Every structure is written in C-alpha cells, then in structure tokens.
Amino acid sequence: MFIGHYAVGFLLKKKFEEIPLWMLFIAVQLVDVLAFTLVLLRFERMSYNPTSNPFLRTSIEYVPYSHSLLSNLIIAFVIFLIFWKSKKSYGIALSMGVLSHWFVDVIAHTPDLPLVWNGFKIGFGLWNFPWPAFFIEVGCFIGSGYYLYKNSKNIRRPIALIVIAVILYTSVMFAPEKEVPVGVASIVSLSLYVIFAVLAWWSEGKKGLRNL
Ligand SMILES: [Zn+2]
C-alpha cells in the first residue's frame, strides 16, 4: 500500500491533534523508508516482476529487517521509548503509526510478509485485484481525510494535499509498464515519502495545529 498508510496518519491526527501531521506521515511509512534504504544498501532485496498488474511489479524477496512482524514490533517499541519520556502522546501515536504499516501491508500484499525474520510469510492478496485495491486504498485515504477535516475552517491546503496525493499516486501506479531498476524505484519511492511529509507540513500552514 502507499497512500492507504496515510489514511492511518489522518486518523491518528484526529485523535492526537497536538502532533504535527508530517511526523505522523513519516511514522506510517517509516518501515518502507527503512526497506528502500536497505535495498539501496543491499541488505534487503526486491526485484522487478513483469506483469500487467501494477501492484505486483515489485517482487519482495528478502525484507527481514524492515517488514517482518517481529522487527516491526521492535521498531515501534523503540520509537515509543524514544518519545515516551519527553512527550507521552507522541510515543503512543508515533509507535501506533509505525506498527500500523505492517497490518495495512498484510491486507494488500501477496504472501511475502514474514512474521519472524524471513520466515512464515503471509499476505491476504488484495493486490491480486488491482481495481478494487486501487479504489479501496484511495477511498480510505479520502474518507479519513474527510473525517479529519470535516469541521475545520481552513481547508484549502488540506484539500490540496489530498488532491495532489491522489494525483501523484495514480500517476505512479498507472505509469506505462517498463522495467525500472530496483535502485531507481527505491529512490523514487523515498522521494515520494519526502514529498508527502513536506506536503503534510505545508498543509498545516504557519498556524500549524490551530488550523484544525
Ligand atoms: Zn511496506
């Protein structure tokens, strides 16, 4: 999943208004940031899979550090500990965001997500059905955005954030099929995570949280 993860970011923002949206956006994608960084460093492995289904073009072969359930529990716990002392709500919300990633992924992925290290792989396979997968993901993103902002006064920037995100996501997913080296795909993905975090920061404006 891609923007489906940000739906969780919106829901967490509704509950934890004091936390900047950009931090929640980074939290929900932290393990993908880790995965693509580790792919670039050759600690983890993905490869190009030629298929007409855009959701299955990246074969996930070896992602024990970033995408096993056990490592996600550990990463979330570390994030919790880092923030817990200074800001309790940050510790709770950001670790929930980090951990949500795996559970959202497991709905979409084919059985390539390990439970422990590189073993016991599961995935419910929503991605086998590209159109339902696309509409469910975009629907969750827009729906949770609506839920977050429905009573807000200043919604120009949030609307722009949602529209830009959907356009970016759609154009990346439905770009014409061609083989892209995994290194390039990783850099594109990492750049998108940065763009989304910057958009989230921008969406809250100068007044930041008081925009809501
Ligand atoms: Zn992931």
**Ligand 1 centroid to residue 147 C-alpha, Å:** 24
97-to-19, 62, 73, 106, 180 alpha-carbon distances in Å = 12, 23, 11, 15, 30
Task: Give the sign of the dihedral formed by CA 18, CA 20, CA 26, CA 28.
Answer: positive
Q: What is the pLDDT of residue 179?
A: 80
Other CB atoms within 10 A of residue 43 CB? 15
16-44 tens-digit pLDDT: 999 999 999 999 999 999 999 999 999 99
**Ligand 1 centroid to residue 205 C-alpha, Å:** 29
* Residues, CB within 5 angstroms of ligand 1 (ion): 32, 105
Average pLDDT over residues 98-105: 97
**Ligand 1 centroid to residue 209 C-alpha, Å:** 28
Q: Which residue has the higher pLDDT, 206 or 128?
A: 128
Q: Which residue has the higher pLDDT, 126 or 181?
A: 126
Per DSSP, what are the bridge partners of residue 22?
Answer: none
Q: What is the pLDDT of residue 141?
A: 97
Q: What is the pLDDT of residue 58?
A: 85
Number of domains into which the chain is organized: 1
- What is the Cα–Cα distance from 2 to 72, expressed in whole angstroms? 17
**Ligand 1 centroid to residue 115 C-alpha, Å:** 13
Q: What is the pLDDT of residue 211?
A: 46
**Ligand 1 centroid to residue 195 C-alpha, Å:** 17
Task: Give the sign of the dihedral formed by CA 67, CA 69, CA 70, CA 75.
Answer: positive
Per DSSP, what are the bridge partners of residue 119?
Answer: 116
Average pLDDT over residues 114-122: 93
Average pLDDT, the chain: 92
Whether residue 104 has pLDDT greater than 80: yes
Whether residue 208 has pLDDT greater than 60: no
190-to-37, 54, 130, 143, 187 alpha-carbon distances in Å = 8, 18, 23, 25, 5
- What is the Cα–Cα distance from 25 to 95, expressed in whole angstroms? 12
Instruction: With beta carbons less than 8 A apart as the criterion, state whether 97 and 83 touch.
Output: no
Give the pTM. Answer: 0.92
Q: What is the pLDDT of residue 206?
A: 67
- What is the Cα–Cα distance from 140 to 108, expressed in whole angstroms? 13
**Ligand 1 centroid to residue 155 C-alpha, Å:** 29
Which DSSP category does 177 fall into? P
Containing structural domain, residue 44: 3-211
Find how far residue 81's CA is from the centre of its chain: 22
**Ligand 1 centroid to residue 1 C-alpha, Å:** 7
Percent of the chain residues past pLDDT 90, beyond the cut: 75
Q: Where are the alpha helices (DSSP H) in 62-111?
A: 64-67, 69-84, 88-108
**Ligand 1 centroid to residue 35 C-alpha, Å:** 8
Average pLDDT over residues 12-17: 95
- What is the Cα–Cα distance from 54 to 36, expressed in whole angstroms? 18
